[in-house]
Amino acid sequence: MRLTCDREQMLHAFQAASAVAPARSPKPILQNVKLDARPDGGVIVATDLEVGIRVEVPGVESESAGSVVLPIGRFGSILRETADAKLQLETDGHGVVVRGERSEFRLPAENPAEFPAVSEFAEAKYHSLPARVLGQIIRRTSFATDNESSRYALGGVLIEMTDDKVTAVGTDGRRLAMMEAPAQSVGGHATGDAMTIVPTRSMHLIEKILTDPDGEVHIAARANEILVKTSGATLHSRLVEGRFPKWRDVFPKRPDSVRIELTVGPLYSAVRQAAIVTSEESRGVDFTFGQGKLVLAGKAPELGQSRVEMPVAYDGAAVSITLDPRFFSDFLKVLEPESTFALELKDAESAAVCQTGDGYAYVIMPLARDR
């Protein structure tokens, strides 16, 4: 195999693929990436046997087809440290030689035939949606999952795909984030009653390959894995086993609740201020709405007290609830500061429900007053 590549483009593709490779593995070959050279370009492949990725490498001119296994640490350093615009790679039966204008590196290379196969996207049935929308779905739901829970299903995001939309849900049992967005089903693709729970780590890896926000993404669910194809990469991931909570039950109809419109930026600032004197033991902040204002109060015996006020468009009877400021901040920081949302409250013992106008909802369970 012999090829010439654009160093910058190779570096970008290499970084995306190497994020999948494990730092440690009983199979040392997995701590590498494989580069496949073809007449029409190159593809970098990596896997940890749970997640696999194929990244297209633009700017590759191949003189002869073939494959080479590249060590992540050394090859990555070459790509970062050399200043050459072009690099030449050539295998010689003993390893790989990487040449620049004034540099040459010889690296050992394992047998590419021993590198595990990584699935390509060849599905006839899938869902299609804009990359920008999928990125928003991931940012708005993955933070609410719990990778430390003994309930494995909470360590991933539930993906439900129907005829005309995609719904994603993440929860750790104390808060729940749900986002739904329009999507097109191709070939009758749908998840049906299947529990398509994508590991949180895989969701973050998917977000990394959404490099073209204006591009389209194809998603296909199988019995035990999900495949995602963008304009420049394909990623497949095993699914999380287990039963996801009945998340729709978290959104009860409450006609007697109070609904308050709030602006994200000012509230985010107020929550951060009130949280300054909270601690792990006294982590709650009291939210009290009434008389045209919101009063946030935090208290920790060893740290002191806080009281922050801000005007709100609510003049009804006072309503209070104690919430974890970290959970509220997680919700607010994935929204635009100038955007608004509706906060629905019933009483101090019932969940707070936040809803935006674009299909996003967030539920936070209250804390006990005697915390």
pLDDT tens readout for residues 45-99: 999 999 999 999 998 998 888 999 999 999 999 999 999 999 999 998 789 999 9
- What confidence category does residue 368 fall into, taking pLDDT thresholds of 50, 70 and 90? confident
Identify the CA nearest to 214 among candidates 231, 236, 233, 234: 231
pTM (two decimals): 0.93
Would the pLDDT of 366 be above 60?
yes
CA 205 to chain centre: 7
Structure tokens at 71: 């060590």
Runs of H (alpha helix) within 144-263: 200-208
Matching residue, tokens 């696999």 = 52
Domains of the chain: 2-114 (3.10.150.10), 126-247 (3.10.150.10), 251-364 (3.10.150.10)
pLDDT for 39: 80
Would the pLDDT of 371 be above 50?
no
- What confidence category does residue 254 fall into, taking pLDDT thresholds of 50, 70 and 90? confident
- What confidence category does residue 100 fall into, taking pLDDT thresholds of 50, 70 and 90? very high
pLDDT tens readout for residues 279-293: 877 789 999 999 999
Would the pLDDT of 330 be above 60?
yes
